[in-house]
Amino acid sequence: MSAYRRGELGPVVCVVGARPNFMKMAPILRALAARQPTLPTLLVHTGQHYDRDMNDRLFEDLRLPLPDINLEVGSGSHAVQTAEVMRRFEPVVDERQPSCVLVVGDVNSTLACTLVAVKKGIPVVHVEAGLRSYDRSMPEEVNRVLTDQVADRLYTTERSAADNLAREGIAADRVHFVGNVMIDSLLDNRPLARAPAATLGAAGADPELIAGPAGYGLITLHRPSNVDKVAVLAAILGALRDISATLPLVFALHPRTRKSIEGFALWPLLDTRRIVVLPPQGYLEMLGLMANARLVLTDSGGVQEETTALGVPCLTLRENTERPITVEQGTNTLVGNDGAAIRREVAAILAGRSKSGCLPERWDGRAAERIVDDLASWLPGRLAVA
Ligand code: UD1
């Protein structure tokens, strides 16, 4: 590990924008502070997510420091949101002269800040590089491909990512397999997870519903491909209603999904006391709900990984995944969004046919340490040649 004299380097500008970024950045900031205390950091929040439910609660749960700068871009079309992040991030880069810009994941803020930095010759570090669904209709896939093309240092979570990057012509010496920072957060916070009964009670729901021997299923849903079309969403909700007759369900509702359910007048499908609808949950509540669930139905990327780490069966309502290790080694099964397929796979798990899975390589709670150690040796050399 090399040490820096204070003032020697510009800050490592760490960017977060949306909910799935927060649990990835928290362990990185902690590892930077612990292992490279003289290396300055600056936490920039783009403001892509801004609600108390989608933002503030997660910051508190993850013990994230308040952002040094909040760009407050808010919601908008992809073009508007991406452009607005770029417009507001550029003066920050001009003023602070970062030694590098560190981005995580695949949201619009990830790509927007990458583009600003790379065009100014500032090194870009991408955490969670190389994941590919090979489905360009996903906005995240476009963000991933473009960010990786121009990033200088790429940290990967699973070995398949290096193969994807090699196929896209990215030199192997830019790529470093470190493991999964999202699992760093999970292992760190596992002892603090909130009990599901307490979470339901706090939300005004009846904890008795999930106290029975059947347990409960947990639902998260927010992908445009599942929630933006009435026929697709109605088929999924219809399947959930049927499943709830045998397995009580807890549904943590994303704002995009809530808007669709309201706009398409689909509330009647959820109008049963066997389905508890909750607002977006804090990190510790979600961790408790996932860890204790009989099964999880989701279209989230992070939840596929978290359920694998927790050993809880996961049915992913997508045709593909950019996280194949969760299917090959973990507890994840792809079911798509066909109602009959969802019912069938849930029935199979309830009949005892579920994957037990194992913990993937380097999902050991030390990914952020590996990133910081590598960064500390790589960055001075990169700046010397710039
Ligand atoms: C974004 C990310 C997605 C990630 C997801 C997690 C992109 C392209 N998508 O999708 O990868 O999995 O976050 O949530 O970056 N809204 C609120 N409060 C908020 C934020 C959003 O009510 O704090 C509402 C807004 O009305 C907005 C809608 O939710 O229009 C969608 O938010 P947006 O950030 O555009 O996309 P997500 O679907 O959240």
Quote the pLDDT of residue 385. 67
pLDDT tens column, 272-281: 999 999 999 9
318 CB within 6 A, ligand 1: no
pLDDT at 148 over 60: yes
pLDDT at 386 over 90: no
Tell how far the Cα of 256 is from the centroid of ligand 1, in angstroms: 7
Atom of ligand 1 nearest to the CA of 108: 15
Q: Whose CA is nearest to atom 9 of ligand 1?
A: 107
CB 371 within 8 A of CB 155: yes
322 CB within 6 A, ligand 1: no
Q: Produce one character per residue of 325-361: b if its CB has 16 or more CB atoms within 10 Å, e if not.
A: bbbebbbbbbbebebeebbebbeebbeeebbebebbe
CB 230 within 8 A of CB 307: no
Using DSSP's 3-state secondary structure scheme, residue 355 falls into coil
d(CA 346, CA 297): 9
Q: Whose CA is nearest to atom 14 of ligand 1?
A: 19
Q: Whose CA is nearest to atom 35 of ligand 1?
A: 75
d(CA 150, CA 144): 10
Q: How far is CA 66 from CA 15, 55, 69, 86, 370, in A?
A: 12, 11, 9, 21, 24
pLDDT tens column, 93-132: 999 999 999 999 999 999 999 999 999 999 999 999 999 9
108 CB within 6 A, ligand 1: yes
Q: What confidence category does residue 1 fall into, taking pLDDT thresholds of 50, 70 and 90?
A: very low
d(CA 56, CA 47): 11
Count of CB atoms within 10 A of residue 65's CB?
12
191 by Cβ neighbours in 10 Å (0-12 / 13-18 / 19+) ranks as: exposed
Q: What confidence category does residue 2 fall into, taking pLDDT thresholds of 50, 70 and 90?
A: very low
- Rounded average pLDDT over 243-262: 98
**DSSP 3-state percent helix, strand, coil across the chain (nearest 5):** 50, 15, 40
Closest CA to 112 of 134, 141, 135, 79: 79
pLDDT at 242 over 90: yes
CATH entry 3.40.50.2000 includes domain 195-350:
yes
Closest CA to 131 of 117, 109, 148, 114: 148
Closest CA to 100 of 3, 15, 22: 15
Examine domains 3-179+364-384 and 195-350 and report if their fold is the same: yes
Span 3-179+364-384: which CATH code? Answer: 3.40.50.2000
Domain parsing of the chain, residue ranges: 3-179+364-384, 195-350
Position with higher pLDDT, 381 vs 206? 206
- Rounded average pLDDT over 142-151: 98
pLDDT, averaged across the chain: 96
CB 188 within 8 A of CB 27: yes
Chain centroid offset of residue 204 CA: 27
pLDDT tens column, 65-79: 999 999 999 999 999
pLDDT at 340 over 80: yes
pLDDT tens column, 8-52: 789 999 999 999 999 999 999 999 999 999 999 999 999 999 999
